[in-house]
Chain A
Amino acid sequence: MNTMRYLLVKEFKQILRNKALLPLLFVAPIVQLLVMPLAADYEVKNIKVGVVDLDRSDYSKKLVTKIEFSNYFKLVDYSNSFDASFRYLEKDAADLVLEIPKNFERNLVREKIEKVFIAVNAINGTKAIMGSNYLSLLLADFNKEISTKWKAYEMAEKSPVIEVASLNWFNTWLDYSFYMVPGILVTLVTMVGVYMCSLNIVKEKEIGTIEQINVTPIKKHHFILAKLLPFAVIGLVIFSVGLFGVAGLVYGIYSIGSLWLVYGFLLLFLAAILGIGLLISTYSQTQQQAMSVAFFFMMIFMLMSGLFTSVDSMPAWARFIANCNPVTHFIEVMRMVVLKGSGFSQIKYHFLIMLGFGLLFNGWAIANYKKTS
């Protein structure tokens, strides 16, 4: 135990003394947590529309006005030629181009039916579908308005309607930051843990001090534990500042569920990801290698965690990979406990898996550490 104390004192001194690194370790995650949720907003608004009005009639102008005053659309161009408006589409200055054909109003009144042409910039498929759906809805709405007026001349008749009343639980205003903040916080803690832990151990290998440690009576597990603990503490601090400072004070997200549960899971998670850092360090000789490997896995961890895209929408093989990713489980647990107030019995399956990860990574790392030294 005495040895442990000396080892820990050394580790903390070395970390706290690194004036270039320390502020980065704390400031970079917190600033990102402050800013990034603002950038991660899927909601499609400000759809840029160019209108080619070849009719210039009463109806066509009404339609254009309707688009102009809609919350979803921004009219960027109103022209007489499709080619001119298409230029906007080409430059990404417009997302949609709506062409109202010549004799739009006349045909509508005479034939009761008329086509309009919509060209959609579909490079971003999701945005394209959303944008064209909104525009179709707007057209349907416009159609209804003019029909009703027309119908007033005929006989109004009521038809049965199914109304859909929707409720949004846990996040009534559909605030996207509720979803993003816990996820980004988890990702940042993961990065600090994996990078720092792997780099720190490899650094001792690279500068040769590990050789000195190996000839002392220090037990391997003491040495490893002393390496892991400081980063567990740093992870805890960053997590807490992020949770109470940024999520709470700035974004108004306070955990509905038990904080004990959140912190209990955090400890297991830290054990697992520090195990990954340790594992990477046992396979690397230089910091450059450790970093490359850590970066490679970090990328996969982040993308496959359900942070930005839904895990449920993935194909089965990808869902399997996502489930083999500790980050997925912690993000899921954070969203469940913090946002929905889930209890232990509802997340026990995640606890079990995380415990498994912790044992697997640390066991593997220690086995490998022994072999190589």
Chain B
Amino acid sequence: MQDIVIKTDKLTKKFGDFIATNQISMEVYKGEIFGFLGANGAGKTTAMKMLCGLSIPSSGSATVAGFDVYTQREAIKKSIGYMSQKFSLYEDLTVIENIEFFGGIYGLNRKALKEKSAKLIEQLGLQPEAAKLVGALPLGWKQKLAFSVAILHEPKIVFLDEPTGGVDPVTRRQFWDLIYDAADRGITVFVTTHYMDEAEYCNRISMMVDGFIKALDSPANLKKQFNVPSMDEVFFELARGAQRKAD
């Protein structure tokens, strides 16, 4: 039996009479890479915000890293890392200052912080750029750096909201190497993406359509279930019936 790190039961979020996320139930296991897919407007971001403690659900229940999303949101925040599609490092701080800032606010002590940041910079091969402003880095490096910063404090789960938007295939590959590394260390990766090849890299994926989870399984099983050769077509089969317009 695998450890469950995220568990939701009929989790729902309503804005007025609009149901953004409709009774989603799922379990995510420790150390797995969980792909969270869906067309734009399907309710992915809303669901993710509830799990990160950014937004309070309307009904249903959920625990993240064993903490309740209604009552223990502060505890959740300590156990997770987060990287958004909008770039989330400070462009007017240097690489090393960003690392120290985000490490610092998660309560890492100074010595650990020094060691970790040195190690991180070395891993990413950013030594020559360590004292440069993040704003001056190419996008791919920024994103790799943002991911590394998000898992600097060894969270139980890291949430990635479309992390590879706008980067080249080589960098995307390298980015996924970082994700695999993290998963190997036991960090659960919860990732949303639009790239169906990336969906193939996930252990399991869920597909959201119009606020519901329409499918949840490993990529191989899903392909088998819909009897199609690629994830692209799985996505197409599922999203075809969507009522909501993407925006």
Question: Do chains A and B directly touch (beta carbons under 8 Å) in the complex?
Answer: yes
| Of B22-30, B84-92, B214-222, the one touching chain A | B84-92
- The chain A residue with its CB closest to the CB of B100 is A6
With an 8 A cutoff between CB atoms, is A209 at the interface?
yes
A13 and B93 form a contact (CB under 8 A): yes
Interface residues on A, range: 20 to 34
Task: Indicate with 1 or 0, residue by residue over B79-110, a CB within 8 angstroms of chain A CB atoms.
Answer: 01011101111111100010011101111000
Q: Which B residues touch A9, using CB under 8 A?
A: 101, 104
B105 and A3 form a contact (CB under 8 A): yes
Question: For window 6-27 of chain A, which residues contact chain B by CB distance below 8 Å?
Answer: 6-7, 9-10, 13-14, 17-18
Q: How far is the CB of B173 from chain A (nearest CB, A)?
A: 25
B105 and A215 form a contact (CB under 8 A): no
A217 and B82 form a contact (CB under 8 A): no
| Interchain CA distance A7-B100 in the complex, whole Å | 11
B88 and A217 form a contact (CB under 8 A): no
Q: Which A residues touch B78, using CB under 8 A?
A: 217
A217 and B86 form a contact (CB under 8 A): no
A17 and B92 form a contact (CB under 8 A): yes
Q: How far is the CB of B143 from chain A (nearest CB, A)?
A: 13
Q: Which A residues touch B86, using CB under 8 A?
A: 207-208, 211
Q: How far is the CB of A2 from chain B (nearest CB, A)?
A: 6
User: Using a Cβ–Cβ cut-off of 8 Å, how many residues does chain B contribute to the interface with A?
Assistant: 27
B101 and A6 form a contact (CB under 8 A): yes
With an 8 A cutoff between CB atoms, is B9 at the interface?
no
B87 and A13 form a contact (CB under 8 A): no
A215 and B52 form a contact (CB under 8 A): yes
B84 and A14 form a contact (CB under 8 A): no
| Interchain CA distance A252-B99 in the complex, whole Å | 49
B105 and A7 form a contact (CB under 8 A): yes
Q: Select B104's contact among A5, A214, A219, beta carbons within 8 Å.
A: A5
A10 and B88 form a contact (CB under 8 A): no
A208 and B88 form a contact (CB under 8 A): yes
| Interchain CA distance A6-B78 in the complex, whole Å | 16
B84 and A216 form a contact (CB under 8 A): no
With an 8 A cutoff between CB atoms, is A218 at the interface?
yes
A217 and B106 form a contact (CB under 8 A): yes
Q: Select A212's contact among B53, B88, B93, beta carbons within 8 Å.
A: B88
With an 8 A cutoff between CB atoms, is B74 at the interface?
yes
With an 8 A cutoff between CB atoms, is A313 at the interface?
no
Q: How far is the CB of B84 from chain A (nearest CB, A)?
A: 5
| Interchain CA distance A17-B88 in the complex, whole Å | 19
| Interchain CA distance A287-B77 in the complex, whole Å | 28
With an 8 A cutoff between CB atoms, is B54 at the interface?
yes
- The chain B residue with its CB closest to the CB of A18 is B92
A14 and B88 form a contact (CB under 8 A): no
Interface residues of B (CB under 8 A from A): 52-54, 74, 77-78, 80, 82-84, 86-93, 97, 100-102, 104-107, 159
Q: Which 10 A-B pairs have the closest CB atoms?
A: A208-B86, A6-B104, A212-B88, A215-B82, A217-B77, A217-B78, A215-B52, A10-B101, A3-B105, A6-B105
Enumerate 12 A-B pairs (CB-CB under 8 Å) in ascending A order: A3-B105, A6-B101, A7-B105, A10-B97, A208-B88, A209-B88, A211-B54, A211-B84, A212-B89, A216-B105, A217-B77, A217-B78
With A2-B104, A9-B101, A215-B52 given, name 20 new contacts (CB 8 A).
Answer: A10-B97, A13-B93, A13-B97, A14-B92, A14-B93, A17-B93, A207-B86, A209-B88, A209-B90, A211-B82, A211-B84, A211-B88, A212-B83, A212-B88, A215-B54, A215-B80, A216-B77, A216-B82, A217-B77, A217-B107
